[in-house]
Amino acid sequence: MSTDATDTPAPAPTATPMPTHAGPLLELDGLRKEFGGRHPNVAVDDVSLEVREGETMALVGESGCGKTTLTRLLLGLLEPTAGSVRFDGQDLAALTASQLRGVRRQMQVVLQDPYSSMNPRMRITDIVAEPLVTHDPEARGRRARARNRQRVGELLEAVGLDAGIQDRYPHEFSGGQRQRVSIARALALHPRLLVLDEPTSALDVSVQATVLDLLADLQQRLGLTYVFVSHNLAVVAQVADRVAVMSRGSLVEVGEAAAVLRTPRHPYTRQLLDAVPVLDPRRGRRAAARASAPTDGPTDDTTDDTTDAPTDEASR
């Protein structure tokens, strides 16, 4: 059985396609999602956000704040009650089923628990090849099986696993290895955007580090854009370029990661930082979180997006 990480991941099979739209890769404008009838529950309330090509946008907040619902909206898995989602300039709501299928090739997700996201009766080769079979007619049938296995082998090697594990089942691997398989599956269609929904929270700390290093390496080599959903501010400080803080379905603060984590403007963001556990209480929780934050200074984006109260972008 292969280990959680190898010395050097193999070169990525294929780079991400070049952008075709001059603006942000992902644009959320006034998104609102209600559940229920006469007295609806508002899960997402007037969220506006832009995600730039090649960056890592972290979406943080406590459990139940609406992060998962928002990611389902941006992936087109839920229809918004109001507002719009644009990917590469295309309004998802205006696309036909065929056009939306094409867009979904470019938007993939890595889920929190890799084991529950896999069919335990399927071999690794079939799990990783499933997106190919679903979206590419040429990948279906017995004649395509050899070609699929070659492609799966390339994907597994790209995430630091041995291509020879294809005939094994998910239960034969550790959590870190299964998450690498999930990442390989997400890369199968050459996506431009990966939604990473708590991708390391179910892993041991040592394994978390190797998976985060892998994600950073893949982003650099493939030009990927990440929406990184997490409640772990230490992880966010390590991976994020910008941070969007969510509370009760709304964004309350958006800005450069260094600025938001070192000098938070909104009270809720300060509460999140104060809740970070530390080994030495005398040092202070907020100081510990800031110590792991990026060292880059604030940029113009901080001034525009982060205010003492919810920003215009967050509270429209």
Determine the 3-state secondary structure of 209 from DSSP: helix
What are the phi and psi torsion angles at 295 (to 5°)? -90, -5
pTM here is 0.82
> Which band of pLDDT confidence, cut at 50, 70 and 90, is reported for residue 21?
low
DSSP 298: P
User: Does the pLDDT at position 260 exceed 80?
Assistant: yes
- Do the Cβ atoms of 121 and 130 come closer than 8 Å? no
DSSP 93: G
* Residue pLDDT, tens place only, 87-128: 999 999 999 998 998 999 999 999 988 889 999 999 999 999
> Please, what is the Cα angle at 242 between 239 and 244, to 5 degrees?
110
**CATH number given to 24-119+193-277:** 3.40.50.300
CB contact at 8 A, 111 and 182: yes
